[in-house]
């Protein structure tokens, strides 16, 4: 695998695919330019994000940058196909403010994965991507999807269309199976290794350490719960409502952060980078001020005593 020069902070481009709210092309470009200006050089996207809109906007933006100065990844497992039933509707089911004139068709076959990449490259305006992830293979029969999906990825790597292959998922079962396949270079661990939830630490992270698999962490705010100074019952957690026990735990974490004058969101951004296998943290953002704020949070000083206090309180593993 190519050794990538990841910066600590990377950009997840779901927002420029109109996640939750519509952005104009100018808004999206301003967000991406801001990410570049604060030092982001790794950009992650997917066909799923805005039914291809994220890939198109990201590709247009990156066409203005030297190809050897950025890293780009996209994902496979969902093909975009015409959706006559979506005429006049928005993609509300998936929280993207885009016309539902296309639909997602799951396809983890070898041929489907190659077609997905080819179509993504056309939207991006590139002849290759650096990293290709199998996207949410747990949707459907995990065993079957991995049995075809992983060989499909490996073939594309062998053919030189991608430099590295991996899996992006919120499922520890899927991530562990991907790591144990022995064929993947990276795992994008979404929401399962955060300051609020460390289920990936039980088996996934140790497996990656043993096999030399790099980890990219995503959704480190758990959909917003860890992004606010004072977590509340109406905070968003993993795209839904926050369970009472999780809220209590995160409130205790926030209280200790306050004792050390550290913003909860800064601790959440920097926490996973303490694990040597984690190479970078992917964070979204549709507003330039959000992106600049996250860059500042990633650079904020955090005393080692804070982590020791959280561990002593049983809030993170020691």
Q: What is the mean pLDDT of residues 19-45?
A: 98
Structure confidence at residue 290 as a pLDDT band (50, 70, 90) = very high
Q: What is the CATH number of the domain that holds 125?
A: 3.20.20.100
pLDDT at 80: 98
pLDDT at 294 over 70: yes
Average pLDDT, the chain: 96
SS3 119: helix
pLDDT digit string, tens, across residues 160-200: 999 999 999 999 999 999 999 999 999 999 999 999 999 99
Question: Quick one: what percent of the chain has pLDDT higher than 90?
Answer: 92
Q: In whole angstroms, how far apart are CA 224 and each of 100, 219, 235? A: 26, 9, 7
Which of 11, 49, 133, 237 does the annotation list as catalytic? 49
pTM of this structure: 0.96
Query: Is residue 1, in this structure, part of any structural domain at all?
Result: no
In a domain, 58, yes or no: yes
- Domain membership of residue 90 (yes or no) is yes
Tell whether 317 is covered by a domain.
no
pLDDT digits 0-9 by tens, 243-285: 898 999 999 999 999 999 999 999 999 999 999 999 999 999 9
2 domain-assigned? no
In a domain, residue 38? The reply is yes
Residue 235, pLDDT score: 80
Are 134 and 167 in contact by the 8 Å Cβ rule? The answer is yes
DSSP of 161-209? SEEEEEEEES-HHHHHHHHHTS--SEEEEESSSSSS--GGGTTHHHHHH
Is 318 within a domain? Answer: no
| Total domains, the chain | 1
pLDDT value for 223? 81
* 114-131: pLDDT as tens digits: 999 999 999 999 999 999
pLDDT of residue 234: 80
Q: What pLDDT, on a 0 to 100 scale, did the predictor assign at position 230?
A: 83
Structural domain of 119: 9-312
Give me the residue label for tokens 């927002």: 15
Q: Where are the alpha helices (DSSP H) in the chain?
A: 25-37, 53-62, 110-124, 142-158, 172-180, 204-211, 244-259, 264-271, 288-299, 304-312
Does residue 221 sit within a domain?
A: yes
Q: How confident is the model at residue 1 (pLDDT cuts 50, 70, 90)?
A: low
Is 42 assigned a catalytic role? no
């Amino acid at each position: 695998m190519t050794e990538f020069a990841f910066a600590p902070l990377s950009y997840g481009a779901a927002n420029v695919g109109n996640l939750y709210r519509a952005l104009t092309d100018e808004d999206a470009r301003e967000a991406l330019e801001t990410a570049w200006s604060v030092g982001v050089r790794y950009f992650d996207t997917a066909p799923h994000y805005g039914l291809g809109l994220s890939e198109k906007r990201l590709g247009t933006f990156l066409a203005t940058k030297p190809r050897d100065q950025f890293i780009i990844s996209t994902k496979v497992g969902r093909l975009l196909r015409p959706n006559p039933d979506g005429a006049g509707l928005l993609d509300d089911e998936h929280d993207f403010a885009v016309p539902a004139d296309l639909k997602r068709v799951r396809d983890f076959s070898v041929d489907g994965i190659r077609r997905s990449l080819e179509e993504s490259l056309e939207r991006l305006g590139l002849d290759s991507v650096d990293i290709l992830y199998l996207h949410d293979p747990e949707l459907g029969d995990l065993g079957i999807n991995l049995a075809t999906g992983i060989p499909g990825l490996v073939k594309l790597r062998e053919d030189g269309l991608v430099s590295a292959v991996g899996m992006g998922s919120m499922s520890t079962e899927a991530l562990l199976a991907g790591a144990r396949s022995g064929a993947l270079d990276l795992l994008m661990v979404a929401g399962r290794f955060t300051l609020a939830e460390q289920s990936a630490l039980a088996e996934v992270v140790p497996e990656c350490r043993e096999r030399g698999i790099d980890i990219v962490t995503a959704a480190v705010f758990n959909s917003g719960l860890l992004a606010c100074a004072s977590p509340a019952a109406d905070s968003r957690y993993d795209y839904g409502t926050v369970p009472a026990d999780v809220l209590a735990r995160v409130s205790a974490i926030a209280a200790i952060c306050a004792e050390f004058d550290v913003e909860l969101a800064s601790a959440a951004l920097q926490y996973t980078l303490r694990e040597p296998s984690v190479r970078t943290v992917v964070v979204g953002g549709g507003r330039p001020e959000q992106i600049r704020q996250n860059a500042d949070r990633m650079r904020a000083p955090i005393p080692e005593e804070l982590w020791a206090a959280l561990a002593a309180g049983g809030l993170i593993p020691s």
